[in-house]
């Protein structure tokens, strides 16, 4: 870190071309204390919400989300819903610019996954607004397992939207059950027809579990062991490639036999191909949670009102029924059982206690460890 004053002089010396340049880049990227924060407790007329695709209930016929409509009906707040998040890093890159300059991104809620470095990074850089808990009485419905994550121990800045499990999915018409990471990485019958996820926490975490190590406490040696194993499988041609959501199409088509995959995806894919299966590997699976945060300059008051609304078990049930990911709201399953017992009984959407014991989270520190990140990027081939 350098002092802003000293930087400016070196700036002018080093960049005669650019002419008068008064602001230094480090200054622009780090000087963020204050400037741009929105502490108002007034609730706005409009909620601007950026979310992942296919992540809220959506009625094809009316082309709207029932949840959002009910929210507007109840509170009078219109919702501008943007499905512009496809993955953590590219969305973060989009918003980092304005946020680093203390500017609002014209959103009141955005959603990042806790198995990426971004929630921690956002909190560290003070690019988020604190929630106004007095507007969220329903926060008591938050399931116990989510009450105190490492990046936000008091839930000052975030609340879960949905959780998901990362396990192994396979296509029954191409292969028999793939129930262990070993099989995924070593079975010659699956060679070239297997993918892993680009998310470090998902792939490395899963392999660490298979090695008998604990992914919530990552050390250089446990990390190295897992990475080595993955690299071997890449080198031998066992792993075809690393994917984001884009394993879904090849897996459904049969180009892939098995993939490290997200539980909710597979539930949604079953309508395209009933022969898909998902399971928690023998050694355990990874749990991740997409968290709602309020970006710098956004209206925490309006956002908090919305969060309170979706923490009502009935609304949470409605969302879970469509989205098919794991809801963080207590009582949602019971609500759903009243109208849709089949979905309520689906263990991929409402994992059993037995399953919950096999789910692990990835260490937050490791996520922000620059060396690990670069090592992983090299494994990914970039």
Q: How far is the CB of 101 from other proteins (least distance, A)?
A: 5
Q: Does 125 bind other proteins (CB under 8 A)?
A: yes
The gap from C-alpha 6 to its chain's centroid, in whole angstroms, comes to 39
* Stretch of 17-25, 129-137, 139-147, 155-163 contacting other proteins, by CB under 8 A: 17-25
> Between residues 4 and 217, which has the closer beta carbon with respect to other proteins?
4
Nearer to other proteins, 97 or 176 (CB): 97
Nearer to other proteins, 247 or 311 (CB): 247
Verify binding: residue 144, other proteins, rule CB under 8 A. Answer: no
Segment 53-112, which members bind other proteins (CB under 8 A)? 53-54, 58, 60, 63, 81-84, 86-87, 89-90, 92-98, 100-101, 103, 105-107
Q: Which is nearer to other proteins, 120 or 132 (CB)?
A: 120
Instruction: Give first-to-last CA distance, the chain, whole Å.
Output: 28
Q: Does 145 bind other proteins (CB under 8 A)?
A: no
For residue 358, what are the contacts with CB-CB under 8 A and spacing of at least 6? 280, 284, 285
Is 201 an interacting residue with respect to other proteins (CB under 8 A)? no
Which residues does residue 46 pair with via DSSP β-bridges, in sequence order? 78
Stretch in the footprint of other proteins (CB under 8 A) among 139-147, 207-215, 247-255, 284-292: 247-255
Instruction: Specify the residue, 8 or 180, whose C-beta has the smaller distance to other proteins.
Output: 8
Q: Which stretch binds other proteins (CB under 8 A): 22-30, 36-44, 161-169, 341-349?
A: 22-30
Q: Is 337 in the site for other proteins (CB under 8 A)?
A: no
For the window 25-54, what string marks contact with other proteins as x by the rule CB under 8 A?
xx-xxx----------------------xx
Q: Site mask, other proteins, residues 171-190, x = CB under 8 A? A: --------------------
Site membership for other proteins, residue 14 (CB under 8 A): yes
Residue with tokens 């939207």: 161
Point out which span in 23-31, 200-208, 277-285, 331-339 binds other proteins (CB under 8 A). 23-31
Which range touches other proteins (CB under 8 A), out of 20-28, 202-210, 223-231, 348-356?
20-28
DSSP state of 100: H
Q: How far is the CB of 335 from other proteins (least distance, A)?
A: 26
Which span sits near other proteins by CB under 8 A: 216-224, 236-244, 302-310, 359-367? 236-244
According to CB under 8 A, which one of 273, 277, 331, 375 is a site residue for other proteins? 273
CB closer to other proteins out of 125 and 133:
125
């Amino acid at each position: 870190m350098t002092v802003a004053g000293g930087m400016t002089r070196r700036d002018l010396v080093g960049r005669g071309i650019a002419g008068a340049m008064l602001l230094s880049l480090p200054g622009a990227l780090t000087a963020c204390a204050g400037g741009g924060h929105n502490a108002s407790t007034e609730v706005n007329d409009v909620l601007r919400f950026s979310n992942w695709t296919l992540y809220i209930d959506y009625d094809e016929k009316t082309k709207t989300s029932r949840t959002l409509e009910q929210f507007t009906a109840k509170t009078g707040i219109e919702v501008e819903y943007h499905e512009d998040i496809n993955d953590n890093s590219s969305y973060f890159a989009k918003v980092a610019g304005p946020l680093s300059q203390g500017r609002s991104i014209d959103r009141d809620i955005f959603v990042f996954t806790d198995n990426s470095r971004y929630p921690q990074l956002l909190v560290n850089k003070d690019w988020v607004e604190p929630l106004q808990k007095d507007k969220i009485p329903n926060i008591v419905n938050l399931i116990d397992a989510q009450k105190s994550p490492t990046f936000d121990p008091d839930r000052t800045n975030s609340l879960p939207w949905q959780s998901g499990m990362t396990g192994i999915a396979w296509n029954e018409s191409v292969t028999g059950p793939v129930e262990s990471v070993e099989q995924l990485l070593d079975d010659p019958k699956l060679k070239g027809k297997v993918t892993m996820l680009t998310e470090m926490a998902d792939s490395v975490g899963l392999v660490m579990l298979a090695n008998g190590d604990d992914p919530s406490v990552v050390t250089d040696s446990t990390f190295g062991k897992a990475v080595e194993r993955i690299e071997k499988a890449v080198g031998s041609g066992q792993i075809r490639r690393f994917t984001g959501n884009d394993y879904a199409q090849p897996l459904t088509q049969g180009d892939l036999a098995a993939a490290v995959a997200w539980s909710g995806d597979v539930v949604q894919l079953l309508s395209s191909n009933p022969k898909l299966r998902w399971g928690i590997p023998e050694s355990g699976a990874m749990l991740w949670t997409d968290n709602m945060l309020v970006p710098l300059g956004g209206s925490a008051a309006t956002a908090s009102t919305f969060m309170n609304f979706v923490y009502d078990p009935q609304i949470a049930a409605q969302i879970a029924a469509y989205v098919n990911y794991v809801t963080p709201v207590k009582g949602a399953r019971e609500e759903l059982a009243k109208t849709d017992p089949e979905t309520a009984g689906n263990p991929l959407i409402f994992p059993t206690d037995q399953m919950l014991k096999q789910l692990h989270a990835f260490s937050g520190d490791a996520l922000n460890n620059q060396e690990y990140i670069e090592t992983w990027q090299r494994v990914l081939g970039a």
